[in-house]
A and B are shown apart, each in its own frame.
Chain A
């Protein structure tokens, strides 16, 4: 027990003040996961709206696919991206493997089905209520969409924040795609993994505290938004 308590004490000490290396790792984590979530959200918002509002043949299948995609293990997405961007793969010429760019791609692919499915689940209810009311008031399709978007903005935000939480805590896939290169592709999760294995338990704890604070901050924001 004293091993853990001692580690906690020394870990906290490493954060006051944090070294430039720690700051750099935090900045990169936020940048990579932030960019990935943004990309995923840019795709997920229109897709989830489309699925909530439009009826078409095969819609059930598509929704089923999105929900299934959500349960694809992250490491499989990592495998796919690895095959795509490694120099021998189809996108090899871009030289993306072991760069933050590839990490963003992989995390975006991971977040996209999650954000879509979560937003869709909330939007379906909103769309149903809005449709009845709006159509009875004589709204056309575009006006209906506008109503749903406005009503659904908190649902989108919640879904996006959930997506961010998912990717900022992702370790294995991020390690595989990024290579954990110091100063270039080392993020909070991969750094914690490395430092702990190296025996730098205190540094692992320091980074763990930061990761926890980030997750907490994100959740507090979510609570705040839902409270509105």
Chain B
């Protein structure tokens, strides 16, 4: 009987520790909740894993947190969307460069009845209306790319939002959107998440879109080995190359078309359109 337990214990140990055993090549990708929530990685990562015979571990947190992870040497490659932080990251010596991958846009959604009267206005003006009437608004408030964009837009309106109407969820895009739906509130959301979760939303509609300020470009960054010699730079570079290759870019271009009726992201690498 004791032998059985011994064997079981050994099997258990192997199963528990197998992810850290040397074996398949591993890549740690730190990306954003909005990208994960859209489902894009389900289309993009498996072909990459197959082609390069590796495992990709995706850590989805806000852009700010993802970059902090990378600054601590905890990620091999980043897929994020805040141009300013990205350029700072490169300037601080954590990466050689940042590379374009794709873009989409943000939309301002809100109650169908639009109590603040922001529909169709430039986004900063719409935000000003929301603040003026104290209409319920839910913010990511988690240092994500979306949050940083939101703060920039408030800044353009010359406002510092605060008050009971301005709710800070500290959560990902999906959760924040759900809170906005429950509370019938305004919210800034990236189009991919909006389209991906449209059917769960019953009281909100797109009120502002197409404003140049709502442009949302994503970049891929291979973290430099200079500060963290344990990083898998080779595989990270392969990943960056893959998603910018004609194959990767066409996956991006076609993603979501069948499920949501339109693409969620638009490829940015020239020559692959």
Q: Smallest Cβ distance from B187 to chain A, in angstroms? A: 13
**Interchain CB contact under 8 A, B179 and A179:** yes
B157-171 interface bits toward A, Cβ cutoff 8 Å, 1 = contact, 0 = none: 000000010011111
Of residues 132 to 155 in B, which have CB atoms within 8 Å of A's CB atoms?
Answer: 138, 141-143
**Interchain CB contact under 8 A, B168 and A183:** yes
Of residues 146 to 201 in A, which have CB atoms within 8 Å of B's CB atoms?
Answer: 179-184, 186, 194, 197-199
**Interchain CB contact under 8 A, B182 and A97:** yes
A88 to B182, CA, bound (A): 9
- Indicate whether A86 reaches chain B with its CB closer than 8 angstroms: yes
**Interchain CB contact under 8 A, B171 and A98:** no
A194 to B142, CA, bound (A): 9
**Interchain CB contact under 8 A, B168 and A87:** no
- Indicate whether B250 reaches chain A with its CB closer than 8 angstroms: no
**Interchain CB contact under 8 A, B142 and A181:** no
Residue in A98, A181, A199 whose beta carbon sits within 8 Å of that of B168 in the complex: A181
Q: Smallest Cβ distance from B254 to chain A, in angstroms? A: 32
A179 to B164, CA, bound (A): 15
For chain B, the count of residues having a C-beta within 8 Å of the partner chain is 22
**Interchain CB contact under 8 A, B170 and A182:** yes
**Interchain CB contact under 8 A, A197 and B65:** yes
Q: Smallest Cβ distance from B78 to chain A, in angstroms? A: 15
**Interchain CB contact under 8 A, A87 and B141:** no
**Interchain CB contact under 8 A, A184 and B65:** no
Q: Smallest Cβ distance from A28 to chain B, in angstroms? A: 14
The bracket for how many chain A residues form the interface is 10 to 19
A184 — which chain B residues lie within 8 A by C-beta?
164, 167
Greatest chain B CB density within 10 A among A86, A98, A184, A194 is at A98
B102 — which chain A residues lie within 8 A by C-beta?
none
**Interchain CB contact under 8 A, A180 and B182:** no
A186 — which chain B residues lie within 8 A by C-beta?
170
Closest to B162 in A: A183
A172 to B169, CA, bound (A): 15
**Interchain CB contact under 8 A, B170 and A194:** yes
Residue in B168, B170, B182 whose beta carbon sits within 8 Å of that of A95 in the complex: B182
Write 12 A-B pairs (CB below 8 A) sorted by A numbering. A86-B182, A87-B203, A88-B202, A98-B182, A179-B171, A180-B171, A182-B168, A183-B168, A184-B164, A198-B62, A198-B143, A199-B68
What are the 7 tightest A-B residue pairs by CB atom distance, in nearest-first order?
Answer: A182-B168, A194-B170, A199-B68, A97-B182, A179-B179, A181-B167, A180-B170
**What is the interface of chain B, defined by CB distance below 8 A to chain A?**
61-62, 64-65, 68, 138, 141-143, 164, 167-171, 175, 179, 181-183, 202-203
